[in-house]
Amino acid sequence: MIDLIGVPFDLGGPVLGSRLGPAALRIKGLSSTLTSLGVTWCASEDVVAIDYDGDLPLPTRYEKARNYLPELRRRVTESLNEGRLPLVMGGDHSLSIGSVAGALTQGTDDLAVLWIDAHMDLNTPDTTPSGNLHGMSVAGFTRLPTKDRVGRVRSWGQALTEAWPKILDETLCDLSLPKGNVAWIGLRDVDEGEARHLAEMGGSTAWTMQDIDRVGIQGVFSQFEVWLQNTGASRLWISFDVDVLDPLYAPGTGTAVRGGMTYREGHLLAELLSQLLSSEKSAVRLAGLDVVEVNPLNDHQGETARMAIEWVASLFGKTIMGDHLTSQKIRRMGGDA
Ligand SMILES: [Mn+2]
């Protein structure tokens, strides 16, 4: 049973509109797609209300994030305690501080996070060029330390310096993900500070678009499987930012970067994950899933929301032939399946 948890919050990023992401995913048929795959689901109320118009200054945005993130952790925890699988619909990527915090309540060392994104989201208050929380999520749930003073020239510096530890303390309590348990796939827009931070992330590993160009998704995935096994993790949280796809396929997002995955590369990744996480040979199971940064205001006729739903369907086992057709085909070929 999947819990669909909506997070209509977009104040973690510079471009507003992903607050409409959960609505777009619902309208384009996320739940009916799950039903068609035989997956049962349970709709839950949105974690946060859209109780503001337009834009808000960064200090107010931090306060708003501080309010909703502990509530998201509570919802995800509740879902996992009930033995269900949380599917968190964003909203911007800052929500992962809350969703991963929820997964951490079930154990820390046995959890790994797969960050499928054009961006690392590994800035700390002293390295972020913009002050936007959606670029700091991984640094947040791994509790990466802030080393330097935040530059005084930045108007939001003081507010972020004060808000950041409060956000983390109130959302994560004393939990954090082991620094070696993060894998990135699809990177192509990395800040200087984030690249430096990777060296402090233990065995965490990043596969960029160049790696995908060189060895293909299949090659990257094989390396990821070895990495995952070496972490010793038995639960995988997948955080899927739609901007990992090229803007040709996913224009409806806030921080689109060209040179991304093709539609088929994205699907092959989902299909390989599906096989791994459902295989009897694998000890790793899916802990939960974020689908973030769908921004209907930048979209063309809902195609990004539709792409995200199709990606989720592949992750949950949809194949081109379908299991039924596949076994028919094997029988036709003389096999006895
Ligand atoms: Mn991103």
Q: pTM of the predicted model, to two decimals?
A: 0.95
**Catalytic, out of 46, 191, 243, 265:** 243
Which amino acid would we find at residue 148? D
- The arithmetic mean of pLDDT across residues 243-253, rounded, is 97
Q: What percentage of the chain carries pLDDT values higher than 70?
A: 95
- The arithmetic mean of pLDDT across residues 72-101, rounded, is 97
Give distance in angstroms: CA of 243 to centre of ligand 1: 5
- What is the per-residue pLDDT across 172-213, written as a single tens digit (0 to 9) for each? 999 999 999 999 999 999 999 999 999 999 999 999 999 999
Is 121 labeled as catalytic in the residue annotation?
yes
Specify the CATH number for 2-30+42-317; select among 1.10.15.40, 3.40.250.10, 3.40.800.10, 2.60.40.1120: 3.40.800.10
What pLDDT is recorded for position 49?
A: 92
Angle, nearest 10°, between helix axes 58-81 and 157-172?
A: 10
- What is the per-residue pLDDT across 265-315, written as a single tens digit (0 to 9) for each? 999 999 999 999 999 899 999 999 999 999 999 999 999 999 999 999 999
Nearest to 87 by CA among 309, 322, 323: 309
**Catalytic, out of 117, 189, 246, 299:** 117
337 or 4, greater pLDDT: 4
pLDDT for 330 beyond 80: no
- What is the per-residue pLDDT across 60-84, written as a single tens digit (0 to 9) for each? 999 999 999 999 999 999 999 999 9
